[in-house]
Amino acid sequence: MNKNNLQELVTKIQQKHHQDKGGKNASYIPYLASVPAQLSALAVVTAEGEVYASGDSDYGFAIESISKVATLALALEDKGSETVRRKVGDSPTGLPFNSVMALELHQDKPLSPLVNAGAMATTSIIEAKDKEERWARILDFQRQMASERVVLSDEVNESEQTTNFHNRAIAWLLYSAEHMFCDPMEACEVYTRQCSTLINTVDLATMAATLAAGGKNPISQKQVIKPQNIPHILAEMMMEGFYEKSGDWAYTVGLPSKSGVGGGIMAVVPNVMGIAAFSPPLDSAGNSVRGQKMVHELAHTLGLNLFLPK
């Protein structure tokens, strides 16, 4: 598909869905409830660094759970895949992202780095001498994968740090079972900050494109992630990236993806492109309703399902 056609397709799909109804903003984090529900954007960044975007694509929204992918990538760089697998786990829980029952069922081992428990454990294994260094390395890694525009929002962070009681409880449970590898409240606080950065849809598509391009950010041209770590990250995204609807997404779209309760979705087409969508209203699992429709339609139209026979 040539450049004009791809831009036309991105615009057409974003405009087709931008007034779709259904879903609700996340409300358990006060900031997220206040984001205008009508916002929507769709963006593609190719593995060669071409950018296509439509809608509110420069609006910075809270990255939330999508940050778990960047921290997992950094943990793999720091520790290697066998250590991450042994300490955190590698399998889907089949339960909601903040489930305590999932821990109960598995001797308090988180299983997946893409649920809250596993994400906090992953944050805790990042190499750092103290909290501020842990945070600085994680923020820097989000920026390297996406863009220098990624910033911490004090407003989102304040909203989350003052309401994250459930995550604090999970952090202590992990600690009591020896699945937490730094001070549990440090891990919870840094995890909460990593969820509180603002990213726009083009930069999120760049993050996805870095994963699509073997770990090299196609805009900055910098190799951010070792190529051998990419399959592990994409496997986790395919298994657990869409909360307990990850199976539906794999069945219908067939792309490793990650969503966040801020309304963002990123999807990776290995060696080809990163796709990102944003719109705040969520389905019951926490996935953007319009975002899913936009990514699904784009991927389907372009025949991008990884499992399609050639």
Number of Cβ atoms within 10 Å of the Cβ of 181: 18
Contact pick of 125, 171, 195, 304 for ligand GLU (by CB under 6 A): 195
Residues in contact with ligand GLU, shown as a per-residue x/- string from 273 to 302 under the rule CB under 6 A: -------------x----------------
Contact pick of 208, 261, 268, 294 for ligand GLU (by CB under 6 A): 261
**b/e map 207-224, b = 16+ CB within 10 Å:** bbbbbbbbbbbbbbeeeb
Nearest alpha-carbon partner for 93 in 107, 75, 106, 76: 106
H or E stretch at 266: strand 264-269
Contact pick of 14, 17, 61, 64 for ligand GLU (by CB under 6 A): 64
Contact between 65 and ligand GLU by CB under 6 A: the answer reads yes
The burial class, CB within 10 Å (0-12 / 13-18 / 19+), for 90 is: middle
Contact pick of 14, 40, 144, 167 for ligand GLU (by CB under 6 A): 167
CB of 280 to ligand GLU, least distance (A): 12
In this structure, what DSSP letter does residue 279 have? -
Contact between 244 and ligand GLU by CB under 6 A: the answer reads no
Phi-psi region at 107: left, alpha or beta (left = phi > 0; alpha = psi -120 to 50):
left
Decide whether 64 or 244 has the Cβ nearer to ligand GLU: 64
How distant, in Å, are the alpha carbons of 11, 49, 149, 253 from that of 68? 29, 23, 18, 21
Contact between 99 and ligand GLU by CB under 6 A: the answer reads no
Decide whether 33 or 219 has the Cβ nearer to ligand GLU: 33
List residues near ligand GLU by CB under 6 A. Answer: 64-65, 97-98, 116, 160, 167, 195, 260-261, 286
